[in-house]
Structure 1
Amino acid sequence: MSEREATVEAAPDQGWKTARERGGVLGMRFVLWLTTAFGRGPARLFVRVLAFYYTVFAGGARRTTAEFLQRVEGRSSFSRVYLQILRFAQVTLDSLFFVSGKIEPFELTRSGSEHLERLRETGEGGILLGAHLGSMHALRARGTQANMPVYAVVYTQHAERINAVLREVNPDGQASLLQMGEGVDFMLRIKELIESGAIIAILADRVGADGRAVEADFFGARARFPSGPYILAAMLKCPVYLTFGLYRAPSRYDLYVEPFAERIVLPRKRRQEALSEYVQAYAARLEHYVSMAPDNWFNFYDFWGKPT
């Protein structure tokens, strides 16, 4: 595969950015109020109604979800699309509990946690590659409980505003969302955290604002994945793991951690080829976990679509 084929320059207005995530920060504040006032049970009833509303009126999300289900499960229906949106609403609700450190309502099962425990014992930091599949907050809550700080790198310009909402949930918590950047300050901050033994979590399934992406096979078709996480990991020279927190209604999260690479190495002469190999390896494992819990897939845009 040529460099031109391996690296795709996506347009700045990628689908997941232009298809606005309805509610945003205001939605988080409202759900926070509802949860604080009435608890998880009544809030779960409310999100059922909210999910039905969006299933009916959010035509773009409904259409792309139906296409995803047809590709992955071979069938689709209104009720199945509703379930997909409901799962997203339920996991979003639960994230407020995880951020506040209230994990008592949940059953957390763990597979591969020994890998992170080994990092903690040695004092070494590392990178976790996840996806918009299930809940990253469940894993972060477990890491905090185990005295292992987990920082999430995000692509959004609203990272600081989201941090403000999270501080309302847990005033004593640290601001743990880091906006993805390419400058020296960002790299120094990440390097400092890694050297202090922190874990850096990156959702590696959505192409960022820079548009730099690598194509890989994913459920029988070519899809674009960001190259940034692998370039960052190569610069930091630290261990890389895959992690997924799959939600099982009503209150269980199955947390998975598995080794991905002791070091990401991108040789100068075969940089694009190496990137393609890493991204394809990630896509293959992501496909495995999506197959385990298709209703946990929370990318409500045309994931296999070409840049516009």
Structure 2
Amino acid sequence: MTVKHWSKMQERGNQLGMQILLLSYRLLGRKGLWIVLFPVLLYLFLTGKTTRIASLQFLTQVNHYNGINKYASWRDSFRHFRSFANSAFDKIDAWLGRIKQSDIVYTNETLYKQLDEQCQGAVFIGSHLGNLEVCRALSQHRSTKRINVLVFTHHAVEFNKIIKRINPAVSVNLIQVTDLGPDIAILLKEKVEQGEIVVIVGDRTSSTSAGRVIECDFLGKPAPFSQGPFILAALLDCPVFFLFCLKERSAQKGLFYRVVFEKYADNLVLPRKTRQHALQLVISDYAARLTYYTALYPYQWFNFYDFWQNDHTVIRDQKKGK
């Protein structure tokens, strides 16, 4: 049996849904928006068989990894969907400046300050765990560095257009790519040399080419991770950081965001003779950190497809998939 690649999965209710989200937020606020959105979310949950099954499989795998001998329930999966919807509200709050500095707890904040003071470019490798959008918005008030975010879907570009309507001052540069080719590497090299930041996620496989992956352990099972982001980081010859933004709750602070900023290397080196081995090591390190935080924050995992699928058997051409 063949399955579609994540990039070919239909983005349901994309344009109209985002417009309704923005209008309702402006008119009703966050609490009122939930009244509008809840039936829509319930509909998407009940009719979205593929995403619902992926959610159940993922949450069950997390349970097993955490030593819990329990299959995820529909209630667990719906909670997962609700968390995803909440993350969209968080993005809007961040760009509107409604998330205060007191709502943020930083891990290794001095590393970012040093990077900023040195006027040095860098690569941040993120993921679809947590909410990188919050990090991007907050950085507008903490640094003069220009941020360049590589995105692989039209949905991300459309969302950014809507965000610009909310806050025209947004200066994040979205670069939509289908593949990490030489032209993109040259463009990003220039940006890094000018002291800018390049942000790319490391948990999505190539949308055009099968098999350009390294299999690494993720939550107790081998999963395919794209080589592209890590090869690109090596080509850019600059400091490399892992970045996560995770939502938490405590009795003292209530809801807050934890920004995790981990320096991985001053620069990635992939020797020609041992390139595959070096790639295996760095991607395994990334997968290990992703596993660690995913096991702690499973409902903030927003890859709603079979993350462990065999990359060679996934249909990337929409026509072939019909």
The normalised TM-score by structure 1 is 0.89
Question: Matches of 2:129 and 2:22 in 1, distance apart?
Answer: 22
Residue 202 of structure 2 is aligned with which of 201, 204, 209? 204
Whether the 8 Å CA contact 1:103–1:141 is kept in 2: the answer is no
The answer on 1:79 being equivalent to 2:75 is yes
C-alpha deviations, 1:126-183, integer Å up to 9, x for none? 1111110110011112211102433211112455434322221211222521123545
The answer on 1:219 being equivalent to 2:219 is yes
User: Unaligned regions of 5+ residues in structure 1, if any?
Assistant: 1-10
Stretches of 4+ aligned residues off by more than 6 angstroms = none
Q: What residue in structure 2 maps to residue 303 of structure 1?
A: 307
Whether the 8 Å CA contact 2:146–2:171 is kept in 1: the answer is no
Amino acid at match of 1:210: T
Q: What residue in structure 1 maps to residue 281 of structure 2?
A: 277
Residue 251 of structure 1 and its aligned partner are, at CA, apart by: 4.1
Amino acid at match of 1:199: I
* Counterpart mapping for 1:216-295 below 5 A: 216-248=216-248, 251-295=255-299
Residue 83 of structure 1 and its aligned partner are, at CA, apart by: 0.5
Change (3 A) 1:85 1:37: same
Question: Matches of 1:244 and 1:61 in 2, distance apart?
Answer: 23
Change (3 A) 1:47 1:261: farther
Whether the 8 Å CA contact 2:147–2:172 is kept in 1: the answer is no
Question: Matches of 1:269 and 1:297 in 2, distance apart?
Answer: 36
Indicate the larger mover: 80-89 or 159-168: 159-168
How many residue pairs get matched? 297
The answer on 1:47 being equivalent to 2:61 is no
Residue 231 of structure 1 and its aligned partner are, at CA, apart by: 0.9
RMSD: 2.2
Question: Matches of 1:246 and 1:207 in 2, distance apart?
Answer: 23
The normalised TM-score by structure 2 is 0.85
Question: Matches of 1:99 and 1:191 in 2, distance apart?
Answer: 28
The percentage of aligned residue pairs carrying the same residue is 32
Whether the 8 Å CA contact 1:100–1:170 is kept in 2: the answer is yes
Residue 106 of structure 1 and its aligned partner are, at CA, apart by: 7.9
Amino acid at match of 2:60: Q
Indicate the larger mover: 112-121 or 153-162: 153-162
Q: What residue in structure 1 maps to residue 96 of structure 2?
A: 100
Question: Matches of 2:38 and 2:146 in 1, distance apart?
Answer: 33
Q: What residue in structure 2 maps to residue 163 of structure 1?
A: 160
Whether the 8 Å CA contact 1:44–1:90 is kept in 2: the answer is no
Q: What residue in structure 1 maps to residue 147 of structure 2?
A: 150
Question: Matches of 1:283 and 1:273 in 2, distance apart?
Answer: 15
Amino acid at match of 1:189: L
The answer on 1:128 being equivalent to 2:97 is no
Residue 208 of structure 1 and its aligned partner are, at CA, apart by: 2.1
The secondary structure found in structure 1 opposite 2:216 is strand
Whether the 8 Å CA contact 1:129–1:240 is kept in 2: the answer is yes
Q: What residue in structure 2 maps to residue 190 of structure 1?
A: 188
Question: Matches of 1:112 and 1:242 in 2, distance apart?
Answer: 11
The answer on 1:18 being equivalent to 2:14 is no
Residue 68 of structure 1 is aligned with which of 58, 66, 69? 58
User: Unaligned regions of 5+ residues in structure 2, if any?
Assistant: 65-70, 315-322
Change (3 A) 1:179 1:251: same
Change (3 A) 1:44 1:193: farther
Residue 299 of structure 1 and its aligned partner are, at CA, apart by: 0.6
The secondary structure found in structure 1 opposite 2:243 is strand
Change (3 A) 1:175 1:128: closer
Indicate the larger mover: 293-302 or 105-114: 105-114
The secondary structure found in structure 2 opposite 1:55 is helix
Question: Matches of 1:271 and 1:68 in 2, distance apart?
Answer: 31
Whether the 8 Å CA contact 1:151–1:176 is kept in 2: the answer is yes
Residue 273 of structure 1 and its aligned partner are, at CA, apart by: 1.2
The answer on 1:32 being equivalent to 2:22 is yes
Change (3 A) 1:103 1:43: same
Residue 53 of structure 1 and its aligned partner are, at CA, apart by: 2.2
Question: Matches of 2:105 and 2:33 in 1, distance apart?
Answer: 24
Residue 214 of structure 1 and its aligned partner are, at CA, apart by: 1.4
